[in-house]
Amino acid sequence: MNVKNDFVKKVCGLTVVALFVSSVGPLASSADYSSPMPQSPLDDVLASETIDMISTEVVLDEEVLSEDFDLEEEVANMPTIDEMTPEQKELFDEIVAEQVALAGIEETEVFEEALNNFFDENSDTYNDLNSGQIELEEAIEDETQVSLMKQVFNETLGVKEAQAAITVKVGVKFAGAVFNTAIGFAVGGGVGAIQAFIIKKGKYEAQKLFNRTVTSRLKAWGAKKLAISVGVCVAVALNYLDVGTQIAKQLDKRDKVPNNGWINIY
């Protein structure tokens, strides 16, 4: 009889413990959401986007952080390469070098030249994503470079076969590098400076600034249709370290052929 009573007591005890644990679980989970631990400004940056070579410990100019600083206007008024001061040209070259490194391709000269041409007033592709695409397709058709150029541009700039000329496409990596270069030049640095700018301004304010800036640039660069989905693209991109590339990826996610590495301009 005593053995039976002991067994019943043990079962009852275990039942109480099980019920207690099951009730505590949801409470603990609820507490986690209602009282989050303090986070640093970059805690939400996805690990896959963390790049060792980039530091967000960037000292930005007071003018850039002032309330009067207009990111959209600064990007729109970015000087062409031949109008840059020596200091501006040095900054530009540093940003381009960073973007080439982030692209992760072996043929760095091709990517660098395409990026430089986009910001060079003397180039046929100056500030024009459409003509830039056409020039890249013509380069592919150059019979002396067919095999190399086709591989490089297909894998890095997202250029499709020449027979698809009716559909204008720009590669995600190239578009992301263009965004990063233009915005980075305005705030005074590369990807790290852009993220530092976002941290200083706060995500809500930064999102408004980036929405206006990216929208106006897409329209100016001949991609008006893409400007429609900028808002959601920027909102997502601000959670990543490489903001420019992520904006490009989000645009690709929402174009006529999603997630294929190419952004459809039309």
The pLDDT of residue 136: 57
Q: Does residue 9 sit within a domain? A: yes
Spatial separation of the C-alpha atoms in residues 225 and 213, rounded to whole Å: 15
Query: Does the pLDDT at position 182 exceed 90?
Result: yes
Predicted confidence band of residue 172 (pLDDT cuts 50, 70, 90): confident
Q: Do the domain assignments include residue 253?
A: yes
Average pLDDT in the 66-79 region?
A: 96
Q: Are 184 and 97 in contact (CB under 8 A)?
A: no
* 72 and 54 belong to one structural domain: yes
**23 shares a domain with 125:** no
Task: Name the token pair of 112.
Answer: 């660098």
pTM of the model: 0.73
What φ, ψ does residue 70 adopt, rounded to 5°? -110, 100
The predicted structure's pLDDT at residue 157:
53
- Are residue 163 and residue 197 in the same domain, yes or no? yes
Question: Residue 55: which pLDDT band, with cuts at 50, 70 and 90?
Answer: confident
**What per-residue confidence (pLDDT) applies to 167?**
57
Q: What is the mean pLDDT of residues 5-19?
A: 44
Q: Please tell me whether residues 10 and 101 are part of one structural domain.
A: no
Indicate the SS3 state at residue 48: helix
Residues 19 and 106 grouped into a single domain? no
Q: Is residue 246 in some structural domain?
A: yes
Question: Sorting pLDDT into bands at 50, 70 and 90, what band is 156?
Answer: low
Q: What is the mean predicted confidence (pLDDT) over 125-143?
A: 68
Reply yes or no on whether the pLDDT at 27 is more than 90: no
Would 42 be classed as within a structural domain? Answer: no
Is 90 within the bounds of a domain?
yes
**Longest distance between any two alpha carbons in the chain, whole Å:** 100
Most confident region among 91-95, 99-103, 144-148, 159-163 by mean pLDDT: 91-95
Over residues 104-122, the mean pLDDT reads 85
Verify that 183 and 91 share a domain, yes or no. Answer: yes
Together in a domain, 33 and 51: no
Instruction: Looking at the structure, tell me whether residues 89 and 158 fall in a common domain.
Output: yes
Query: With 80 as the cut, is the pLDDT of residue 52 above it?
Result: no
Percent of the chain with pLDDT over 90: 44
- The answer to whether residue 53 is domain-embedded is yes
Question: Does 117 reside within a domain?
Answer: yes
State the average pLDDT for the chain: 76
Please state the domain count of the chain: 2
Q: Are residues 100 and 175 in the same domain?
A: yes
pLDDT of residue 2: 45
Same domain, residue pair 135 and 230: yes
Structural domain of 245 = 47-264
Structural domain contains residue 28: yes
On whether the CB atoms of residues 209 and 237 are closer than 8 A, the answer is no
- Are both 19 and 133 inside the same structural domain? no
- The confidence band for 131, taking pLDDT boundaries of 50, 70 and 90, is confident
Same domain assignment for residues 68 and 179? yes
